[in-house]
Structure 1
Amino acid sequence: MGVIVVSGTGTEIGKTVVTAAVASAARAQGRSVAVVKPTQTGVAPGEPGDVAEVARLAGDVTGVELARFPEPLAANTAARRAKMAPVRPQQVADAVAKLAVEHDLVLVEGAGGLLVRLDDDGATLADVARLLGAPVLVVVTAGLGTLNAAALTGEALRARQLEQLGVVVGSWPDAPDLASRCNLADLPESAGAPLLGAVPQGAGALSADAFQARAAGWLAPALGGSWDADAFAEEFAAVR
């Protein structure tokens, strides 16, 4: 896969850390990586955004941020309130195409969920994935409520005939509750896609060296890692 679109079932669920983990695993295989953030919201000028965080954790990646809007709102709303031009799907596709010529892997990290609007015409990250012909990796939460959110996102992808690469738990808790443990078995059926990883809670606070040393162990082979979904589920099923 030359391009992967990273979306999620909501905000603040670990998309950036998952993106960094995928980038790190790819780099460990000797692949060159670029990361594109179509819209960064809620970050002041000069303040590090998600692309900078991916680079901090994963190491030597090419980072591109197409637009930055100061208020922490949906992209189209933030652009409108800032009186700035929104980012259109074709702009994202063009930027990714250029990066794909010189990089083995390009990761496109969305903001919020799959259907958050990019502009007032109703374009979304799903339209970006369609233009790119790229699979979508969906980041989910661990606990109660994640099955419905994962099912809705999977349904939206299938309705648009987009490939869902799989789902990754963006922040696996240190002490998972019953719902989180049960969700390991239930998420693939609800999402309609395989479970491809679980990034531990607090992974984003690790040093770059520690993060890069561990990242592949959080991701399944389909994402360049060594994580085993069945073994992971069995480990936590034993303590139910």
Structure 2
Amino acid sequence: MPVLVVTGTGTEVGKTVVTAALAAAARAASRTVAVLKPAQTGVAPGEPGDVAEVRRLAGGAVTGEELARFPEPLAPGTAAARAGLSPVRPPEIAQAAARLAESHDLVLVEGATLADAARLIAAPVLLVAQAGLGTLNTTALTAEALRARGLRCRGVVIGSWPAAPDLAMRCNLADLPEVAGAPLLGAVPEGAGSLPPEAFRTAAPTWLAPELAGTWDAAGFAAAHR
């Protein structure tokens, strides 16, 4: 099944922009793409959420679907409980992903706490991580949690790479794949989400490795930042 689960090692690590880059790179490779957001939190009815942002950056040809929306900016289960609504269950996510996969070359399932859904879908997981100090610990723990559930970590993408990385960030280029037990598959520049959509779509493949339909070279990138 052509499904990839995109999750992060924490909040505000760049999951949505990375998902948009993945969608844009796949579209540039002439693949049909759907983005599934199981639970959108912290957004009022009628306001654009993460799916709308992905489609804005990657292009309207990307199919977008949201399964539920909860008003408070909390973890999905907590937000659902406080709103008096039912949470989105892993079987619902798996069924929606399977349905979208029937008519798309790639389905990106983006969000937090998706391990149980990923296991039902039998989909690999892409980790979006921070660049700087502390990221090795959170990446190692997240990767370990995935392995404990029998899930495959497809790789790691740095969600926001600064123009002037510090020493810890540069060292993390070599250390992140080691602690994750999976390759480093990209680095999205800081502020990429603020680019005009056309510029974003043109540049997106250069931020991602060939395994993700891009042209980014991990070894060359690391060598340039020694």
TM-score by length of 1: 0.93
Instruction: Please say if 1:148 is aligned against 2:149.
Output: no
Instruction: Please say if 1:214 is aligned against 2:215.
Output: no
Q: Aligned partners of 1:74 and 1:172: how far apart in 2?
A: 26
Q: Aligned partners of 1:170 and 1:2: how far apart in 2?
A: 22
Residues 27-66 of structure 1 aligned to structure 2 (within 5 Å): 27-59=27-59, 60-66=61-67
Displacement of 1:91: 0.4
Query: Secondary structure in 2 aligned to 1:106?
Result: strand
Aligned to 1:236: 225
Aligned to 1:164: 153
Q: Aligned partners of 2:147 and 2:11: how far apart in 1?
A: 22
Query: Secondary structure in 1 aligned to 2:225?
Result: helix
Aligned to 1:119: none
Instruction: Please say if 1:78 is aligned against 2:89.
Output: no
Aligned to 1:18: 18
Which consecutive residues of structure 1, in runs of 5 or more, have no partner in the other structure?
A: 117-124
Query: Secondary structure in 1 aligned to 2:12?
Result: coil
Query: Secondary structure in 2 aligned to 1:102?
Result: coil
Aligned to 2:4: 4
Displacement of 1:95: 0.7
Displacement of 1:231: 0.4
Write the deviation string for residues 2-32 of structure 1: whole angstroms up to 9, x where unpaired: 1000011011110000000000010011100
Instruction: Please say if 1:198 is aligned against 2:207.
Output: no
Displacement of 1:141: 0.1
Q: Aligned partners of 2:140 and 2:12: how far apart in 1?
A: 19
Displacement of 1:175: 1.0
Q: % of aligned pairs identical?
A: 71
Q: Aligned partners of 1:210 and 1:139: how far apart in 2?
A: 22
- Displaced runs of 4 or more, over 4 A: none
Query: Secondary structure in 2 aligned to 1:64?
Result: strand
Aligned to 1:104: 105
Q: Aligned partners of 1:25 and 1:37: how far apart in 2?
A: 19
Let me know the Cα RMSD of the aligned residues.
Answer: 0.7
1:135 to 109, 113, 124: 124
